[in-house]
Amino acid sequence: MISTKPWTGGTEEEYETQHFGFGAQRLKIAVRQMVEQKITNGVKDMESYLQESLDLNETDKATLTRSCDKLIRLYCERAGPSLGAIDEEIERMLKIPHNVLLPEDEVQLEQTSDSDYEKLKEEVASLRRRVERGALMEALLSAEEEELASVEKVCETAKKDMEAIDLICKSADNSECLKAVQSETEFLCASASFMKKQSDLFDE
């Protein structure tokens, strides 16, 4: 209900937060929230007391609630000018002069020499080369890993094929059908040889 500007941050707010642990914007918002909460709690406590003390019907209770809500809004509106004065005081107290240097920023006073700057550039270049080599090595390892995975798949497939062939061979060795086929084949071969001899006799 109390008009409050949203927090926007900024350099001054950040600087104040580093020094005090909070900035002027956050403190002004917190003060407004606290004042509004105090007004609301006070009026609602009064409303509860009146409802308990007086023998009110439902219509009177609703009227009392509406009146208390209006009273809260009125108090919040009337608090605006006073809160504006409080805002100015907060800004005056928390504002850090531009010539004040915080302990966190004292390291910026130290100037970097040309030799230190060149050394830093060399370290950055060395780190960049190490990163590039690491990326290249990772790419090579990934390619090698994919190739090994492909070879493993081929070996696994060949192993399964060999196992299947072994099973077929074992099954064939123990099969009576194969023996019968073999006997029949030998009989046919012998018959063919006998018929060939008879044909040779007739030709003579």
Would you list the domain boundaries of the chain?
11-109, 124-173, 176-204
pLDDT tens profile 89-103: 998 888 877 766 666
pLDDT tens profile 54-108: 888 889 989 999 999 999 999 999 998 898 999 999 988 888 777 666 665 655 5
Mean pLDDT is lowest, of 73-77, 164-168, 185-189, for: 185-189
d(CA 133, CA 97): 49
| Cα angle for residues 149, 151, 156 (degrees, 5° grid) | 95
d(CA 32, CA 75): 12
d(CA 2, CA 160): 80
**Residue 202 pLDDT:** 41
- Taking the C-alpha atoms of 164, 168, 169 and 174 in order, what is their torsion angle to the nearest 10 degrees? 140
- Which band of pLDDT confidence, cut at 50, 70 and 90, is reported for residue 130? confident
Tell me the DSSP string of 71-131: HHHHHHHHTHHHHHHHHHHHHHHHPPPTT---GGGGGGGSPPPHHHHHHHHHHHHHHHHHH
d(CA 112, CA 120): 10
- pTM exceeds 0.75, yes or no: no
**Residue 196 pLDDT:** 44
d(CA 60, CA 49): 14
